Amino acid sequence: MELLLSMIIAKIFCTVNADLSLERYFCKLEKLDAQSCKHVAGIRGYSKLSENEETITSNLFGKILDDENLNSGDIREPEPLGTITLPETISPLNPVSIEEIGNKIRFLNAEQKIYNLEKYGPVNEKTCVIVIQVHSRVAYLNQLVTSLSRMRNVENSLIIFSHDLYLPELNEAIRKIDFARIMQIFYPHSIQLNPNRFPGPSPDDCPRDLNPTKAKEIKCRNADHPDIYGHYREAAFPQTKHHWWWKGNFVFRNLNVLQNYTGVIAFLEEDYYVTPDFLWVLKLMEDAMMRNLCHGCNLLSLGTYLSPKKLNYSQAVVTNWVSTEHNMAMTFNKTLWEKLTRCAQTFCEFDDYNWDWTLFQVSNTCLESKLEVLYPKAARVYHIGDCGLHHKMTKNCDSKKAAEAIDKGIKQYSSFLFPDNIRIDYLKGNKMFPKKGNGGWGDLRDRELCMSFVQ
Ligand SMILES: *[C@@H]1O[C@H](CO)[C@@H](O)[C@H](O)[C@H]1NC(C)=O
Ligand SMILES: *[C@@H]1O[C@H](CO)[C@@H](O)[C@H](O)[C@H]1NC(C)=O
Ligand SMILES: *[C@@H]1O[C@H](CO)[C@@H](O)[C@H](O)[C@H]1NC(C)=O
């Protein structure tokens, strides 16, 4: 059983042996040589979690979901987005389309239309809200949507797609999804809409590798603001962090339908894949959090990079949040978001283009009480797109194959899914701090744009 699972995990992680330490795993993902790995690991402080300190038991049997409202979890048709394929590179828009799309986006973000409301009824306090950050990896998104369609209780959810690309074919396909309430929102400061000006690349920007002394001589625009490693802004890098920050603010503060919503919201990415009991386990964990059975944890993460050896589908762990370990399907409520926005300055000024690494800085240096995460030992969400992002696409990293590998695992372990209750272990985590950011966020314009989302 363990062997099969490690094979599955190894497949998901493409080339990585499941026994690798976190440090080696991430260094391999990012293709770092031994020396850079040591450096980065020093900054990030990867290491194994220590032993259990204390164990508490949460008996949540039968309290969580009303069985009569659940669907049967039948396997549905795959490819819910059809067979749309986008070109490798998305061609730049002309000024007329930029204006047109800009107007559409403003309209759509104000309209906040929810599809399938007639079918599933209005959103209320019991609705499960899921937000997916979408860029362009439609093949992966297709797999994610398939997996969402197979979740038990999906008809009780509102699924919000947050885009930083306006792609008519993709929009059309998403609006046809019929198994849940669906909404789309659009990040308004995308590179797509600003191909020749900030936040896109501007002709008078300093080139990334220009020496700062030289930059000041030729007086390129951001000469005074290289990042901590002496590099100038590259437009493609900051967008994901901007989008993440904008999306959180938009969803928690600007969405009319969630004005009075106090529940948690789960944040996914386009290349994730969920298990059929994702919402079930999320509810168990949310209930444990709200009943204060998790040592004061303040967020949930439904995924984990834990070695599969200790898997038990009805156990969860509380520990201090570490960005590189607990960044999958982070789930929390408006109360926590408001606390994060009070640290906007820390978030927007930390010189790191990764939102999760930045959040770690916020947790360690600004929040009154640090982030404490509750996560299931056996992941209920997988990052199947790791391969495409960090490796050359290979057959092993095909989105369909990755999804099939997980489906196989799900089938194998189906009798362990939908646990009646979860046991919560308390794990005293390592006391690591990010001493330094990874750079890519030195430009003042990024800091200002970031701050503008909370003003
Ligand atoms: C939120 O609550 C206020 C006050 O009770 C109410 O007027 C408003 O209609 C509610 N909004 C939504 C979207 O339910
Ligand atoms: C949000 O969650 C925290 C626990 O993470 C809880 O203490 C707080 O009461 C929740 N806020 C609301 C408005 O329910
Ligand atoms: C998993 O954990 C639960 C709760 O601690 C325990 O009752 C159960 O026996 C464990 N299952 C396996 C297969 O070890």
pTM of full prediction above 0.95: no
Predicted pLDDT of residue 431:
66
Predicted pLDDT of residue 406:
86
In this structure, which ligand is nearest to the CA of 125? Answer: 1
Task: Identify the band that residue 403 occupies on the pLDDT scale cut at 50, 70 and 90.
Answer: confident
Which residues partner with 408 through β-bridges?
none
Predicted pLDDT of residue 434:
67
Looking at per-residue pLDDT, the higher value among 103 and 8 belongs to 103
Query: Is ligand 2 within 6 A of the CB of residue 262?
Result: yes
- The helix/strand count (H/E) of the chain reads as 16, 12
Looking at per-residue pLDDT, the higher value among 275 and 401 belongs to 275
Query: Is ligand 3 within 6 A of the CB of residue 6?
Result: no
In order of 129, 176, 193, 215, 297, the CA distances from 187 in angstroms are 19, 21, 10, 31, 30
Residue 11 has pLDDT above 60, yes or no: no
3-state secondary structure 306-372: CCHHHCCCCEEEEEECCCCCCCCCEEECHHHHHHHHCCHHHHHHCCECCHHHHHHHHHHHCCCCCCE
Predicted pLDDT of residue 337:
98
Query: Is ligand 3 within 6 A of the CB of residue 421?
Result: no
Q: How much distance in Å is there from the Cα of 340 to the middle of ligand 1?
A: 24
> Mean pLDDT score of the chain, rounded to an integer?
82
pLDDT tens string 179-235? 999 999 999 999 999 999 999 999 999 999 999 999 999 999 999 999 999 999 999
Nearest CA to ligand 1 atom 3: 260
Query: Is ligand 2 within 6 A of the CB of residue 136?
Result: no
Task: Identify the band that residue 405 occupies on the pLDDT scale cut at 50, 70 and 90.
Answer: confident
Task: Identify the band that residue 430 occupies on the pLDDT scale cut at 50, 70 and 90.
Answer: low
- Region 267-291: mean pLDDT is 96
Fold (topology level) of 2-194+235-452: Spore Coat Polysaccharide Biosynthesis Protein SpsA; Chain A (3.90.550)
Predicted pLDDT of residue 24:
45
Looking at per-residue pLDDT, the higher value among 59 and 19 belongs to 19
Residue 268 has pLDDT above 80, yes or no: yes
Residue 433 has pLDDT above 90, yes or no: no
Residue 416 CA, closest ligand 3 atom number:
13
- Region 52-58: mean pLDDT is 24
- Rg of the chain (C-alpha set): 22
Residue 50 has pLDDT above 90, yes or no: no
The pair of three-digit structure tokens given for residue 9, joined into one six-digit string: 């995990």
Cβ-based neighbours of 190, under 8 Å, separated by 6 or more: 164, 165, 166, 199, 239, 243
Q: For the chain, which residues make up each domain, given as ranges?
A: 2-194+235-452
Nearest CA to ligand 1 atom 5: 260
User: Which range (26-40, 66-80, 105-119, 141-155) has the least confidence?
Assistant: 66-80
Predicted pLDDT of residue 214:
95
The pair of three-digit structure tokens given for residue 98, joined into one six-digit string: 């930029």
Predicted pLDDT of residue 324:
84
The pair of three-digit structure tokens given for residue 192, joined into one six-digit string: 């797509």
Residue 368 has pLDDT above 90, yes or no: yes
Predicted pLDDT of residue 444:
98
Residue 41, sorted as left (phi over 0), alpha (psi -120 to 50) or beta, turns out to be alpha
Query: Is ligand 3 within 6 A of the CB of residue 189?
Result: no
User: Which range (128-132, 205-209, 312-316, 388-392) has the least confidence?
Assistant: 388-392
Predicted pLDDT of residue 435:
72
Residue 68 has pLDDT above 50, yes or no: no
**Ligand 2 pocket mutation, candidates 336, 340, 368, criterion most atoms within 8 A of CB:** 336
Nearest CA to ligand 1 atom 6: 260
Q: What percent of the chain has pLDDT over 70?
A: 77
Q: How much distance in Å is there from the Cα of 333 to the middle of ligand 2?
A: 6
Predicted pLDDT of residue 311:
80
In this structure, which ligand is nearest to the CA of 296? Answer: 2
**Ligand 2 pocket mutation, candidates 125, 335, 367, criterion most atoms within 8 A of CB:** 335
Residue 387 has pLDDT above 90, yes or no: no
Query: Is ligand 1 within 6 A of the CB of residue 260?
Result: yes
Query: Is ligand 1 within 6 A of the CB of residue 125?
Result: no
Predicted pLDDT of residue 80:
73
- Region 84-89: mean pLDDT is 66
Task: Identify the band that residue 307 occupies on the pLDDT scale cut at 50, 70 and 90.
Answer: low
Q: How much distance in Å is there from the Cα of 328 to the middle of ligand 3?
A: 24
Greatest mean pLDDT among 23-32, 236-245, 319-328? 236-245
Query: Is ligand 2 within 6 A of the CB of residue 331?
Result: no
Nearest CA to ligand 2 atom 11: 335
**Ligand 3 pocket mutation, candidates 61, 313, 314, 417, criterion most atoms within 8 A of CB:** 314
In order of 117, 176, 276, 319, the CA distances from 155 in angstroms are 10, 15, 13, 32
Residue 422 CA, closest ligand 3 atom number:
4
Q: Judge whether 266 and 128 are in contact, CB under 8 Å.
A: yes
The pair of three-digit structure tokens given for residue 203, joined into one six-digit string: 């002709």
